[in-house]
Amino acid sequence: MTYEESPEAFAERFGDHAVGVELLPQPLGYPLLEAVTPAGILYPFDRGAPPAPTGQVDLVLHATVETFRYRQGASAARPLSGGRYLLNGRVRSELEPGFYLLDCGVPLVLASEEPLESGMDIEVTTEPPLMAFRTEGRRA
């Protein structure tokens, strides 16, 4: 499974699943963004070229599954230690082999070596880091 050829190619590939966020100012060269999202404040690793913009931006959020289990629960995205996240949500669809659209309060492109069932509620612990790819306003 190819995760990405370049940050720009990944943003283009999954840009239709971007979410509008407000980026708060960060020190130049700081690799984590502080993104105010509908699911709360997230701290994704910035895959764009510095400097990071501030204000309203469209991002494709991306994570890779470390572990998962099917279970019902409220949609949520919560940071854990070591750059991992605990995501609760619904697998909306398979976007392409190995990539799924997860609704965890925000749309998130989830990579998984194991197949995930569309329409199922899931709890995911992600591998570090949660990543953000900037798009050019292609949000659905």
Report CA-CA distances (Å) from 121 to 63, 67, 69, 91, 95: 17, 14, 9, 6, 17
Q: Strand 85-96 vs strand 45-46: parallel, antiparallel, or unpaired?
A: unpaired
Q: How far, in Å, CA of 107 to CA of 70, rounded?
A: 18
pTM above 0.75, yes or no: yes
Count of positions (residues) in the chain: 140
Q: How far, in Å, CA of 73 to CA of 75, rounded?
A: 6
Maximum Cα interatomic distance, the chain, rounded to a whole number of Å: 41
* pLDDT for residue 137: 54
* pLDDT class of 140 with cuts at 50, 70, 90: very low
Could you give the percent of the chain with pLDDT greater than 90? 84
pLDDT tens digit sequence for 15-29:
999 999 999 998 877
Please say whether the beta carbons of 63 and 131 come within 8 A: yes
pLDDT tens digit sequence for 19-63:
999 999 988 778 999 999 999 999 999 999 888 899 999 999 999
Among residues 60, 84, 53, 66, the alpha carbon closest in space to that of 7 is found at 60
